[in-house]
Amino acid sequence: MNYNIAVIEGDGIGPEIVNAAIEVLKLAGKKYKANFVFKKAKAGGAAIDYLGTPLPKETIQICLESNSVLLGAVGGPKWDILPGNLRPEKALLGIRKELGLYANIRPAKLLPELKTACPLKKEVADAGFDMVIVRELTGGMYFGENGRKNGPYGPEAFDTECYSEMEVERIGIIAFELARARGKKLISIDKANVLESSRLWREVIHKLGANYPDVQLTDMLVDNAAMQLVKNPKQFDVVVTSNMFGDILSDEASQITGSIGLLPSASLGETKRGMYEPIHGSAPDIAGQDKANPIATILSAAMMMRLSFSQEEAAQYIENAVSRVLAKGMRTADIALPGESVLSCSQMIKEILDELK
């Protein structure tokens, strides 16, 4: 099979980690008879510096012509002074919109090899956890009406949280189907005791639940969910929530796995084409120093093989190689305990590539 992959290295550590994923995909493709054509495009700060816009039209076209998109990370303090419509992060929102990617799938699993890196109590870490957060991606406050105005106390700024029944229903279907394929447990997270948008969210999710009698549906308020993630993460299997709540909670979930540098993500829509990226940022403080953890991006490539290309064996091939390397005690700085030897980004990449070979 032939696959066209749009590659957006982005900013900061983006080029280092994306190139690792490309090398992994090449090896997986060779073993499982998949041929990849990688076409690079600019977005984020790199595009602003080069073309004056975070998302050039050429980049959108390359993404639209691809079978999927591999993204590193965008942003950094260099561009913080720019107005909102020119910030690097606008590239992510724009790609999601142009490709119709409304569902963000973020798995968070505590690997047995990394229990000692988990910041939670030993008994909680020993119990382990394996969850998937399904985050709505193109609605809510990040896409709602916003602006500034004069108020009774002077200048004010506002961002509007707004959801339609359609938007909640389509993300809900993905979450219920995923829950049905896993542990048949779904927790819907909202703030229905305060927000009208959350009350609509809950109504639609419960209406959908009638179509999935085999899935246990539970509601949880977002503040309680934030607490429960550190108190008893094992209770979570599949979680569905809004754009902003999902953004925050998935980062929290990533940290209790040992490091935000471990977790991949997939952004999907109505077709098989998706965007795959690590959930961490561009880490400008370590960019170019060969210190980044490439695992999240490599595992994002595995998700691409599974979800967009239906190559389950290839996905497991990549994931198993990462697990074996970690089982050998190989660690980058973000997951190493005091006294443990630390691998550079390039060294970790080499270990994983050697394991794949």
Active-site residues: which are they?
142, 191, 223, 247, 251
Of 16, 96, 14, 5, the residue nearest 47 (C-alpha): 14
Query: Where does 223-303 show beta strands of DSSP type E?
Result: 238-241, 264-268, 275-278
CA-to-CA dists, residue 325 to 87, 163, 198, 298, angstroms: 37, 43, 43, 13
- Please state, in angstroms and rounded to a whole number, the distance separating the CA atoms of residues 104 and 88: 19
Q: Got the DSSP string for 16-80?
A: HHHHHHHHHHHHHHHHHT-EEEEEE---THHHHHHHSSSS-HHHHHHHHTSSEEEEEE---GGGT
Tokens of 163: 């959801």
Tokens of 275: 């965007």
- Please state, in angstroms and rounded to a whole number, the distance separating the CA atoms of residues 220 and 228: 10
- Please state, in angstroms and rounded to a whole number, the distance separating the CA atoms of residues 39 and 44: 17
DSSP state of 226: H
- Please state, in angstroms and rounded to a whole number, the distance separating the CA atoms of residues 211 and 207: 8
Question: Strand 130-136 vs strand 103-109: parallel, antiparallel, or unpaired?
Answer: antiparallel
| 152 CB-near residues (< 8 Å, 6+ apart) | none
